[in-house]
Structure 1
Amino acid sequence: MDEISIKIDEKSDIDIDKPHNDKLHNNNPHNDKPVTKIEISPNEKYLVTYSQVDNSIAGWNVKYSLKLDNILDLSDRNVQIKRDLTNDESESNKTLYQISVSDDKEVAFINDENKIEIYHMNNSQEIILDCGYYCDYVYCTFNVNGELILYGSNHTVFIYSTQTNNKKWDCKRVYKLFKDPEDFKFITISKYNKLYLFSNNSIYKWNLDTEKSIKILIIDEKIEGKDWERKKYIENNIEISSSEKFICTRVKNEIIIYSIELEIPIASLDINNVTQLRNLIKYPALRSRLFPLLCPLFSNKICSGFWDSVKGWKKCLGHSKQNDKLLTKCDISVRATNKIAYVIQDGDIWKVDLEKMILYINSLPINNSDEVISKKMDKTYSHLNIFSLISYNSYMDTISKLFQEAESGSKKFILEQNFVKWIINYRNLADYKGIKLQVIKKNNINNRWDLICTRDEKFKVDYWIEPFEMNLFNDNEIIILTNVGLLIYHFNENDKTISLNYYYYMKFNKINHSRDLRDLRDYRKEFSKSTLPLPKYNSFAICDGWASVIKNNKEYLLKYGIELLNSAIKGRDLELVDQIYKICLNHFEKDFRNKMFLSIITSTMPLLNEYYPEYIEKFSLETTMIIDSPSYSIEHQSSNLHLFSFQYPHMVNLSRSILWFKYNELMSSLLENHERISLILNSFQFLIILLTFPIYFITFYILSYFNFIDDLITCGLFSEFYFKIVSYSSNYKRIPTITFINPYIKFVNYSKYYNWFTELILPKPNPFVETINRDIYRTWSGEAILNFKWNKYGKYYHLAIWFGYIILLICFNIAAKISQEHVDIQRKLLITSITLGSMYLILEIRQFIYDPTKWIQDIGNILVLFVYIFPICTSIWCLHENDHEKIIPYITFSCLLLNLKLISFFRIFENYDAYYTIVVRIAKRVMFFFVYFIMVILTSFAFAFHILLSPKMNYSLDKRIINDDPNNPWNMAPTYQVFDNETSTDSNLFILQTPDENTNMFTTFSTSFFATCLLLTGDTSSFYNWPYEDNPTLMILLILFAFIMAIYILNVFITLFSEAISDHDGSFLVTRAEYLAKIELFYLLPHQRRWKEWFPEVIYYHANVDETRKKVREMIDNRDWKTNEFPDMKIKLLKKLNIDDYITNKPVDEFTLRKVLKETKN
């Protein structure tokens, strides 16, 4: 090629007969050599072009007009560039691996050695990075915040801040692909900080800001082969272009449009089917938001379909001096902004006005077959256009204007625009309240208005429906404001129907016009926000048409489905509840990418638990052991990963280890440049390791566990020794494991909209906290959630709570025992006890404020309250009271309560926790019965003993009274005889022990009750003074008491305990769920509850294959293995586990037989 030129289409109409040869002033940036690569900055301010032959980079200002800015000559700077292996000698075969540019004119590229190089286009000054020098990179880009993002060949992401005044950029964040990195292949990183990876025939998106990951696409084609073959497949067949709302992915010749808001694919189109593209871009909302994303996906594609259809475009591409014919392969590169596309074709740069290009595409004729396809696709794109309008809140300006006009009092019933007329009639009959909409269109032939379609909307209200105002958003959409709410309707010209797109119920007091205006202003505030408010419960209850629209539209169901299901549950509409439940499961079963539909069910579980708890059991059993991919995979992994939960892909934030990277890079530099110094340092490190090995290993383990160090870069004995030991131990024992998805999507998430200070006092719960239902934890899905939470934060907070309590316990116990001579030490210990006790007391008070009724109903909370109040009050009293003897009883009980509370802290040990839970739950279950039952028995026997054994005559303990009453304490007091010597038989002295209150404990009812309580423990010393032979009544009472208390009650307790042991799994997991919910609400701060690493939307978990096989067989035997939903998936799992013959050989029960016969008959 002789020259490089930038062609710009300046005309409003595209003339396909004239080549576009307009050239820029100073159009020779690469010495007449062809352009190889082109990139534009994130905010579309600057553009760079690279010439492989000229080995130069040119910078262009593109904010207002395309103007050459500066040229960077790479040859003069000795930049290492990659050569084509087919022809090492040809200069034209040199190329940079990848290039990117920032809005501040900094250009970054990857050279021949896979190293990153950065230059400023203004002064050609090189910029260096503070770490990551020794890494090899495969991709570089700048984000919209001006940060540099690098992806290394070791599956590591570096993010650098470019806001520095010197020539060095600082590393801010580092992420590393932790689990099975070799299974993942890099695709791209968007300017919105989204990392896209490929693994197991699926494409994943990982958000570098929120650290949230999600699977966005499953590729039906099985991609196998060696590592380089899969990498080649991705480079040639997968491209991604994204915005803040949509992700467009090209897989071979298919483009899938994915909604970031709904997290599902919402449309697809064939890259060679121009009709589909034309059908898409005829909608203004889709054209402006999707077309700029679609253009880059047509890079390097065969010239059929899209490019062939645009003949004016092909005319431009045909302007080549090397070949007079059009190339059969469009080896092009496209970079698009919202309005302009920059294209490299055959070494030339073309600037294309997208609006003019769209006009030209729409002007092309349509053949009959294309028209049939167009009508089929129109309904899909019509829904997509409406959804796009709602997602981008395009209606808000029109709605704001509508409220202003409504307040002025003007009313319209007919609206006309571009030969389309809307007529609205309000029907207020005795048995029917509704709105009738008519669309009529002017006939160009006879100038008559023809009725196109009508729609009747019925409302379940008992008052007249009156209009406030209405306005047209465009020819096909109308917004109506009435006293029953705001409605948005859409007219579809192709199928001649009117559909309801949005309804928000409004309640007016209907007292007078001024009151209506006041209510109208209040609703105007709700619609003054940036997004349409979510419909309320009454929106679905009053308008059946709105509920039907949401139920039958996939996008609407995801957006408003939670509110619809909540409305159905509260309205006790079981039929609608069941329909939504089945629709959500069917959407996921048909397409595994639709897993977000499961979140509609899981988000409403608190209400289901209250109204229809059977649906929780149904969902738990039907969705156990499922996966969001076409097949299950078994891998050999560590033996301790059974029910280990994780996010997929598992990216680890290594930002804490940046200093560690810098240290290792320094060691690498010493090894490379100063080998002798490096040898001395390694010898010194060896001596340290040898002398402090246990401490060294424990220290490095802790640092590694909390990501302060990593094996990303290891240089020096300190690094290499530890990580080699860890690597060896991790490969010691591996067992086959299978991976499942947890069906409880968005079950553990908290709302991202919150007030920090309000939530500190009154935290808003998530579905996990609100739904403590045992059926959730009957399956592994629930248990995996608990394991994830426990391993992420639960056990650490438990240890912290335990540690703080131990300090409180030790301080108070020492202060209680310490000698009065050490008053200062005692005072400090008491102050510490008051401080720690107050902290724990505040947490208990927060729980009471959160839910007073639930808190009071749990007797354990009241006991815990005494545990903290007693020591605090006693400590305060000790600080102000000099008489230590007076407060000893209170100190005693305080120590007792604190020490007993220690029992609950051993729950960190699973075996202990299981039995502790059993005891606690039994106590809660039968506490009232036992307290009442035992108290009545003790009181009855105590009174009986008091009647039988109390003195019947007057007596005094101060003066001896002689009478015949056997219960008289003086008659019961021990007597002693004195003899002269050992052989004497006659005593000459009689000694009587003075009786006291304990001689006959049955003289008063209170002491009688205490003696009966002692008898309950087996202490019969209170009855020693009565001979049993002379007291048959006493014998009968003692026998009855022993039978009732020691035999009957004890056996009842043993039976209850046995039943609890047989059912301890569910109880233990429910108790752990309650404890974790308590930690989440009252120990975590509001912003911590929004950490995606701790509270992800989607969780996967591993399971031991042998344990899975046992569990499935157990569920089959217990008839818990449900195949009504996901039958194909369950069959695949059984075959994968080699237990399909287990079902075949099992005897068929009557229920199964009837079901099979019914299905056969149908």
Structure 2
Amino acid sequence: NNIVILTEAGIFIFQLINDENLVSLSYYHMLTNIYENIGDYDGDKLIRGWVSYVQENKQKFLEHLPHLLKFTADAELTDEIYNYVKLNREDILKYGSTILKKAIKLQASNLIEKIYNECLDLFKKDLENNNAFLSIINKSMPSLDKHYPEYIARYSSDTNMIIDSPKYKIELLNTTHLYPFSNIGIVNLTPSIVWTKYTAQEEYSWWELIKPKPSPFVKTINREIYKTWNGEALINFKWNLYGSYYYYGIWLLFTALLACFTAASTYSEDIVSEGIRNPLLKATIVLGIIHLNFELRQIYYDPIKWFIDPWNYFDFGAYLVPTIASFYWLLTKDKPHFWLSISCLLLDFKFLLFFRAFELFGVYFVIVVSVAKKIASFLVILFIVLLSFAHAFWILLKPRKDYDLNTPPPEGNDDPNNPWELTDKYTQILDDGTNETYVQQPDKNTNMFTTYRTSLLSMYLYLTGDPNALPNWEYLDNPKLTILMVLFSLLIAVYLMNLLIGLLSNAIDEDNNRASYFMQKARILEEIELFYLFPNQRRWKTWFPDVIYYHANVEETRKEIQKLIQNESHTEKFSDMKEELRKI
């Protein structure tokens, strides 16, 4: 009673069920994507019939479950599959993550909520043995972060300061607060756990040196995670274990680049002769190419992500400009003074940026970037207003007749904006009582409103408080000029600039700078993991364990739990566990 059909899509075996007048699919093997070859084919209806037929055959059902989930586009059917799978805990562990990812893709919010609560409830029933159920959520963190970011905040809050054992023991330790480790046997203590799994797949290819595969940690850098102790402990773990060593190595290599180029470009030939300068420039080129290699790999890995990060521009400029300037200097023997000055400026800025990895300085780097993003649109408005006033002043104050800076205008010149009329005049009284007038020859700065570019520069200087921006006109004799100056002062210098100061203050107060700092540090660790670690290093269990534990100070724990209970982020999940911790 079987029918075998061979198509371009694959092999299908159907069974005829005479009693029920039903034709059911009992086996299939896909050769290509079915949807590419059968345009109007209702795959979900066929799969639903197959599921109903083999539901009693658990082995056959589970064997083909990944294929079913791959091709179905029916959220209701996916829900039915999960209801069948959840009857067995082992099946949930094996297929739960796949079903959750499918639910996210299908935007099946009810199923996502069901799986989320099921995983947390199963863990709560047996803290010591059921922590693997949380990995179902962890594996889907990147997808949740992209499509349902509210679950990241919720999960971070629910699992903040939870433990994997109901037994507690307080010991006097020499470790710092939130000191992380991966081996629970180090001390007789069961601390809190960071539940996000960061271990990548075991199999790897050396092609990953060019196009590395990101881990869930890399794909889920979410602010809500780093508002919690779990996120902070995670960053501390990675930084202490390998991040700091690689970071200091990168810093040392850059310092060598900075020292070589600075010595070659700054000191005179009396101190650094050509025989020393040329090797320094060659060393600059070699070191610059090494650093550029890592930057180019980052661009190839994710161009969009690279271009939206403002720090990357400083990095790329600090490596590229000194390298090109050194190469040009060696090739032409002509010292490019301007590019040397730009190179030194970029190198010094880049050296300063290395301090952003340390909390004492990093918080301020975070403030600079976050505030700049928030007021960017306001700065555009301010710039357009400045352009408008520069245009108005240029029309009013530009010379109305042709002039020559080397030749005084003829007698009877009535142009009040002619540079010869605006320049300083000196009168000398001679012995015979006559007066002799000397006129200082004007230059291009005598009237800054001869072109629109210089007019814009003049208005910017006036905005910054430079009194020499408009010094050459008599204000009482030029009421139109006075009106424009008053309008400019009131609108920009008084109103908009004070409004900008207020916006800056509000932006600083609104931002959680500590969480932003840990996000910034996470991106530094992301760069190290992807572009400085070898593929096999990213599979080391000691560096990327399934579970991370950390010590927590007792007093700080009580305070943190009290804060969680009082604010709105507190949830009912594991509330009894946190209450027990507070009583320690």
Question: Is the shorter-chain TM-score for this pair beyond 0.5, marking a shared fold?
Answer: yes
Q: Identify the residue that residue 63 of structure 2 maps to in structure 1.
A: 502
User: What percentage of residue pairs aligned between the two structures are identical?
Assistant: 40
1:850 matched to 2:301? The reply is: yes
Q: Identify the residue that residue 354 of structure 2 maps to in structure 1.
A: 905
CA distance in 2 between counterparts of 1:778 and 1:770 reads: 17
Q: Which amino acid aligns with 2:63?
A: Y
1:645 matched to 2:180? The reply is: yes
Label 1:979 to 1:738 Cα distance change in 2 as closer, same or farther (>3 A): farther
Q: Which amino acid aligns with 1:776?
A: I
1:1037 is aligned, of 484, 492, 498, to 484
Q: Identify the residue that residue 610 of structure 1 maps to in structure 2.
A: 146
CA distance in 1 between counterparts of 2:432 and 2:389 reads: 44
Q: How big is the shift at 1:902? A: 2.4
Q: How big is the shift at 1:1037? A: 2.9
2:101 is aligned, of 562, 566, 574, to 566
Q: Which has the larger radius of gyration?
A: 1
Deviations 1:918-959 (A, max 9, x none): 1112223433x1452232122112111111211122321121
Q: Identify the residue that residue 440 of structure 1 maps to in structure 2.
A: none
SS of alignment partner, residue 426 of structure 2:
strand
1:461 is aligned, of 37, 43, 65, to 43
Q: Return the TM-score normalized by structure 2.
A: 0.86
SS of alignment partner, residue 1094 of structure 1:
coil
1:950 is aligned, of 389, 398, 420, to 398
1:829 matched to 2:280? The reply is: yes
Deviations 1:92-118 (A, max 9, x none): xxxxxxxxxxxxxxxxxxxxxxxxxxx
Q: Identify the residue that residue 596 of structure 1 maps to in structure 2.
A: 132
Q: How big is the shift at 1:568? A: 0.6
1:577 matched to 2:105? The reply is: no
CA distance in 1 between counterparts of 2:20 and 2:432 reads: 119
Q: Identify the residue that residue 34 of structure 2 maps to in structure 1.
A: none
Q: How big is the shift at 1:550? A: 2.3
CA distance in 2 between counterparts of 1:543 and 1:913 reads: 46
2:345 is aligned, of 896, 906, 913, to 896
Q: Identify the residue that residue 939 of structure 1 maps to in structure 2.
A: 387
Q: Identify the residue that residue 961 of structure 1 maps to in structure 2.
A: 409
Label 1:934 to 1:1055 Cα distance change in 2 as closer, same or farther (>3 A): closer
2:159 is aligned, of 623, 628, 636, to 623
Q: Identify the residue that residue 497 of structure 2 maps to in structure 1.
A: 1049
Asked whether the equivalents of residues 587 and 594 of structure 1 are also in contact (C-alpha less than 8 Å), the reply is yes
Label 1:618 to 1:753 Cα distance change in 2 as closer, same or farther (>3 A): same
SS of alignment partner, residue 970 of structure 1:
helix
CA distance in 1 between counterparts of 2:83 and 2:386 reads: 64
Q: Identify the residue that residue 526 of structure 2 maps to in structure 1.
A: 1077
CA distance in 2 between counterparts of 1:1076 and 1:900 reads: 21
Asked whether the equivalents of residues 371 and 507 of structure 2 are also in contact (C-alpha less than 8 Å), the reply is no
The unaligned stretches of length 5 or more in structure 2 are 28-40
1:1115 matched to 2:564? The reply is: yes
Label 1:1028 to 1:1038 Cα distance change in 2 as closer, same or farther (>3 A): same
Asked whether the equivalents of residues 489 and 501 of structure 1 are also in contact (C-alpha less than 8 Å), the reply is no
Deviations 1:646-690 (A, max 9, x none): 1233569xxxxxxxxxxxxxxxxxxxxxxxxxxxxxxxxxxxxxx
CA distance in 1 between counterparts of 2:74 and 2:286 reads: 52
CA distance in 2 between counterparts of 1:621 and 1:409 reads: 48
Q: How big is the shift at 1:806? A: 1.7
Q: How big is the shift at 1:571? A: 0.7
Asked whether the equivalents of residues 624 and 780 of structure 1 are also in contact (C-alpha less than 8 Å), the reply is yes
SS of alignment partner, residue 742 of structure 1:
strand
Q: Identify the residue that residue 318 of structure 2 maps to in structure 1.
A: 867
Asked whether the equivalents of residues 938 and 1009 of structure 1 are also in contact (C-alpha less than 8 Å), the reply is yes
Q: How big is the shift at 1:968? A: 0.9
CA distance in 2 between counterparts of 1:1078 and 1:865 reads: 14
CA distance in 1 between counterparts of 2:14 and 2:73 reads: 24
Q: How big is the shift at 1:1022? A: 2.6
Label 1:1010 to 1:428 Cα distance change in 2 as closer, same or farther (>3 A): farther
Q: Identify the residue that residue 36 of structure 2 maps to in structure 1.
A: none
Q: Identify the residue that residue 98 of structure 1 maps to in structure 2.
A: none
Asked whether the equivalents of residues 738 and 1105 of structure 1 are also in contact (C-alpha less than 8 Å), the reply is no
Q: Which amino acid aligns with 1:588?
A: F
Asked whether the equivalents of residues 285 and 326 of structure 2 are also in contact (C-alpha less than 8 Å), the reply is yes
Asked whether the equivalents of residues 44 and 72 of structure 2 are also in contact (C-alpha less than 8 Å), the reply is no
SS of alignment partner, residue 500 of structure 1:
helix
Moved more, 1107-1116 or 767-776: 1107-1116
CA distance in 2 between counterparts of 1:742 and 1:1098 reads: 7
Q: Return the TM-score normalized by structure 1.
A: 0.45
Q: Which amino acid aligns with 1:839?
A: I
Deviations 1:889-911 (A, max 9, x none): 12222222222222211123312
Q: How big is the shift at 1:465? A: 7.8
- Which is helix-richer, 1 or 2? 2
Label 1:803 to 1:773 Cα distance change in 2 as closer, same or farther (>3 A): same
2:88 is aligned, of 553, 561, 564, to 553
CA distance in 2 between counterparts of 1:851 and 1:1114 reads: 39
- Please report the RMSD computed on the Cα atoms of aligned residues, expressed in angstroms: 3.5
Q: How big is the shift at 1:795? A: 2.2
Label 1:624 to 1:892 Cα distance change in 2 as closer, same or farther (>3 A): same
Q: How big is the shift at 1:403? A: 14
SS of alignment partner, residue 1055 of structure 1:
helix
Q: How big is the shift at 1:488? A: 7.8
Alignment of 1:974-1123 (within 5 A): 974-979=424-429, 986=433, 988-1047=435-494, 1048-1062=496-510, 1063-1123=512-572
Q: How big is the shift at 1:549? A: 2.8
Q: How big is the shift at 1:626? A: 0.9
Deviations 1:379-421 (A, max 9, x none): xxxxxxxxxxxxxxxxxxxxxxx999xxx999795xxxxxxxx
Alignment of 1:55-454 (within 5 A): 425=17, 434-435=24-25
Q: Which amino acid aligns with 1:604?
A: S
SS of alignment partner, residue 568 of structure 1:
helix
Q: Identify the residue that residue 779 of structure 1 maps to in structure 2.
A: 228
CA distance in 2 between counterparts of 1:552 and 1:914 reads: 49
SS of alignment partner, residue 1096 of structure 1:
coil
Label 1:781 to 1:1067 Cα distance change in 2 as closer, same or farther (>3 A): same
Label 1:623 to 1:427 Cα distance change in 2 as closer, same or farther (>3 A): farther
Deviations 1:130-157 (A, max 9, x none): xxxxxxxxxxxxxxxxxxxxxxxxxxxx
